[in-house]
Amino acid sequence: MTPNSAFQNLRDTATNILSAQKDMQASERTSIVRVDHEAVGRLAAQFSLSEIRDKVARVGLPLKFPRPLDELNFHAMLSLLSFGKAYEGDFISQSGLLRESARDTVLFGLIGLHLSKTDLRAGFLMTVTRSDVASYFGIEPMENVPHDSMPAIRVERPGPLSRLVDELVTSMNTVGARLKELGEPDLAHFILAAMRGEEVPTVARLVTALDAAFPSTFGAPLPCPGSRTETGFHCRKKSLMLAGELYHRLRHSFAEFDFQDFSRAPGYATPALITFLVSRGVLCPMEDDGGDEQAHAAAVARLLENPDNVAPLTAGTMVAMDELAVRMAEAATEGEVEGSHASSTEKAVVPLDLSYFLDEMWSKQESERRRQQTEPAGNGEQSCAATEPATGPLHAEMAPAGPSFVPPRGQTVM
């Protein structure tokens, strides 16, 4: 499969999922999602190409890696373990403001493993236990509480972060076992082996290889009933995120990551990005006729009550990223200074980079809001605004986060 056809298939699937929603409008169980094209145009005018390019150029981590291969393995593991948005209120409760997000927690653990010279190889990943993860990542899975019938006696029971620990263990054990089956010592070696032999390095090759080899971790599909996609929606989120990291961080160290199809790579969806697009009216329920941000939030909250709506939200985000990239490139051309000779490449906007840029921007704003909400109150006590997640079947990773959305906990399916 060529890079163009691989990406086109992904885009066609996203479009088909949104189209299929129209046929389900009468359903009592499933709501539908649309992309507001006028809102996309308004959003495109708010950012400059130079601003986006400055932000997507990654800042180096404060770490020294013995070999580029070790850095590659580090970023592969970070992408693999990038989930757990539903638990962020609990991270704050445990660590104050030291770690405000799931990604901070995973990064904290991986940095600690790196500094302790622990090799993130297949043998290690296969044998990681709950106590190991609790120690490495600084997560307390148990809580000490009064006994239900005898309050004077305190007992230990699984705490709010217990399931997250289980999810991290499962992901690491699964990947470790699969690497051993494949005869690869770690993810870095697997990735390089998968990319070798290609005359032209492509994102499509990387994404396809990861999803095929690790279907339950990198490539698990989202259910999308009612669409023509019988096998589910393989949205490639983690693989696309990793492709962006490798291209911007390591393409000068590894020719395998100088992806020739990078400009054609689609965007991806994250909880923060979905929330941002909803707040700007770009992504909204089809039955919603507009209204203020609170009205949009209420409509999306109804969507999120059903896990079958995760695929439409994801598909809508991917479609919006494509359209936003086109609109921004058009705006750059229209606003071009007379006599300038900017190339089409210089005016191009990559949907994959747009996803990263907007996700980072909104996540930082959310962190700042969370920081302000958890600052000591006037009486000297902390007023933590973290609320208990709503109950429901939606899996934790894809539910939007933010002040209007508290995603329910659940098993990771992406």
**DSSP labels for 176-236?**
HHHHHHHT-SSHHHHHHHHHTT-SS--HHHHHHHHHHH-TTTT-PPBP-TTSS-TT-B---
269 within domain boundaries: yes
Beta bridge partners of residue 376, listed in sequence order: 382
Sequence-ordered strand ranges (E) for 163-301? 283-285
405 within domain boundaries: no
Q: Are the CB atoms for 282 and 36 separated by under 8 Å?
A: yes
Give CA–CA dist 200/209, Å, rounded. Answer: 15
Q: Are the CB atoms for 318 and 266 separated by under 8 Å?
A: yes
Comparing C-alpha atoms, which of 414, 298, 376 is closest to residue 97?
Answer: 376
Give CA–CA dist 211/379, Å, rounded. Answer: 52
**pTM metric for this prediction:** 0.79
219 within domain boundaries: yes
Give CA–CA dist 252/121, Å, rounded. Answer: 24
* Ramachandran assignment for 144, one of left (phi > 0), alpha (psi -120 to 50 degrees), beta (any other): beta
402 within domain boundaries: no
Per-residue pLDDT of the chain (414 residues; tens, 9 = 90+): 555 577 888 888 888 877 776 655 545 444 567 899 999 999 999 998 888 989 898 888 888 999 999 999 999 999 899 876 656 555 555 555 445 567 778 888 899 999 999 989 999 999 999 999 988 888 887 777 777 777 778 777 777 788 888 989 999 999 999 999 999 999 999 999 999 877 899 999 999 999 889 988 886 666 655 555 555 666 788 899 999 999 999 999 999 999 999 999 999 988 778 888 988 889 876 554 455 555 554 555 566 566 777 888 888 999 999 999 999 988 877 655 444 445 545 557 899 999 999 998 888 887 777 667 666 554 444 433 333 333 333 333 333 333 333 344 443 333
Q: Tokens 């009592």, residue? A: 28
403 within domain boundaries: no
For residue 257, what are the domain limits? 3-147+154-335+342-373
Radius of gyration of the chain (CA): 22
Q: Rounded to 5 degrees, what are φ and ψ at 157?
A: -150, 160
Q: Tokens 């939030």, residue? A: 297
**Amino acid letter, residue 255:** A
CA distances from 151 to 39, 142, 147 (A): 55, 18, 5
Give CA–CA dist 246/362, Å, rounded. Answer: 22
**How many helices and strands, by DSSP H and E, does the chain display?**
17, 4
CA distances from 344 to 265, 289, 326, 329, 353 (A): 17, 37, 12, 9, 17
Question: Taking the mean position of all CA atoms in its chain, how far away is CA 120?
Answer: 22
Q: Is 174 exposed, middle or buried (0-12, 13-18, 19+ CB in 10 A)?
A: middle
Give CA–CA dist 222/211, Å, rounded. Answer: 13
Q: How many residues in total does the chain contain?
A: 414
Q: What distance separates the 2 farthest-apart alpha carbons in the chain?
A: 81
The H or E element that residue 158 is part of is strand 154-158
Tokens of 120: 């993130």
Give CA–CA dist 16/226, Å, rounded. Answer: 10
Question: Taking the mean position of all CA atoms in its chain, how far away is CA 406?
Answer: 16
End-to-end CA distance of the chain: 23
406 within domain boundaries: no
pLDDT of residue 399: 34
Beta bridge partners of residue 155, listed in sequence order: 145
User: What 3-state DSSP class applies to 59?
Assistant: coil
**Amino acid letter, residue 90:** D
Q: Is 130 exposed, middle or buried (0-12, 13-18, 19+ CB in 10 A)?
A: middle
DSSP letter at 263 equals G
pLDDT of residue 409: 43
26 within domain boundaries: yes
73 within domain boundaries: yes
Tokens of 323: 């359209």
pLDDT of residue 392: 31
Q: Are the CB atoms for 29 and 312 separated by under 8 Å?
A: no
